[in-house]
Amino acid sequence: MNTILLTAIFAASLTLILGVLLGIFRKVFHVESDVLVSLIRETLPGANCGACGFPGCDGFAAAVSAKEAEPDKCTVSDAKSTKKRAELVGSNADIVPLMVVLACRGSRDRAQEKGIYTGEKNCRGAKIASQGVKLCSWACIGFGDCITVCQFGAITMGENGLPFIDRTKCTGCGMCAAECPQLLLKIVPRDREGVIALCQNRNPIRAQIRKNCAAGCIKCGICVKKCPNQAIEIINGIPEIDYKKCSSCGLCVGVCPAGTLRELKTLNRVDYT
């Protein structure tokens, strides 16, 4: 009985001594938090999405304070918060509002499927296992990996098997774009004028393109020929737009037989139905 009592007294004494020592060490080695980091942190939304390339808002705030990151790299922030953050570190940085566009119209009723897919229901897994689930190897797989990583509830899956981006919720953080194994989610400035190709099929055989997907770009080149500003070039089978030359006249959109080209300023849910 005495042994148990002595052991308990010893343990309690040791705990008390260690607690006192830890308190002393905390006071002796205490370092005041960086006031600038705290002020910068207050301008951030707290989404901790990682789109800035740092481990959460705390990491980004520390990087901005140390001038290791530009204050405009947080795409979730509004213009007012970004301006305040820039003023704190003496920068003239100004945020460019971004949005995400799905560069594919290969919906369930347009893009033919290879067969019945029985693997794991995620886009990356399907890409590795069978190069996707559709005959068009570049088409949206449609298992919603982008929905899973979106922290703003900006993406939902439509009945036609394509993800839809709600522009009122999308911050252009780019997490979905990084997750998409097909590289179909494009980040563009919200106020950009011009057009974009909603197809990434690089198959040079036109007949096969239309057989695999009714919405596929057939590489006819009419858009290139009709563009009055020579702003379009077919690169790797995809119409690429030089936004420095594009006047957003819409002529290419009107002559495109596949409906591949769309004006950025008009993109909404209707464009994908």
Per-residue pLDDT tens digits for 16-31: 776 676 666 556 554 4
Same domain, 151 and 50: no
- Predicted local confidence at residue 10, as pLDDT: 63
How many residues are there in the chain? 273
- Predicted local confidence at residue 270, as pLDDT: 41
- Ranges of residues in the chain whose predicted pLDDT is under 70: 1-12, 14, 18-19, 21-33, 93-94, 268-273
Is residue 18 domain-resident? no
Same domain, 64 and 193: no
Is residue 3 domain-resident? no
Same domain, 72 and 108: no
- Predicted local confidence at residue 29, as pLDDT: 52
CATH of the domain at 250: 3.30.70.20
Q: How far apart are CA 108 and CA 179, in angstroms?
A: 21
- Identify the helix (H) or strand (E) that includes residue 156: strand 155-157
Same domain, 222 and 128: yes
DSSP string, 56-80: HHHHHHHHHHTTSS-TT--TTS-HH
Give the total number of structural domains in the chain: 2
Expressed as residue numbers, the domain containing 223 is 98-272
Give exposure, 156-175, as e/b (b: 16+ Cβ within 10 Å): eeeebbbbbbeeeebbbbbb
Same domain, 141 and 266: yes
Is residue 25 domain-resident? no
CATH of the domain at 82: 1.10.15.40
- Predicted local confidence at residue 116, as pLDDT: 87
Are 202 and 236 spatial neighbours (Cβ–Cβ below 8 Å)?
A: yes
Is residue 186 domain-resident? yes
- pTM of the complete model: 0.75
Same domain, 114 and 193: yes
Same domain, 118 and 218: yes
Is residue 263 domain-resident? yes
Over the stretch 223-273, which tens digit does the pLDDT of each residue have?
999 999 999 999 999 999 999 999 999 999 999 999 999 999 887 544 444
Same domain, 63 and 175: no
Hey, CA dihedral for 146, 134, 109, 260, is it positive or negative? Answer: positive
**Packed helices 79-89 and 35-42: angle between N→C axes, nearest 10 degrees:** 170
Nearest to 165 by CA among 70, 101, 82: 101
Same domain, 159 and 241: yes
CB atoms within 10 A of CB 80: 10
Q: Which of 66, 89, 112 is the last residue of a domain?
A: 89
Same domain, 82 and 133: no
Same domain, 83 and 112: no
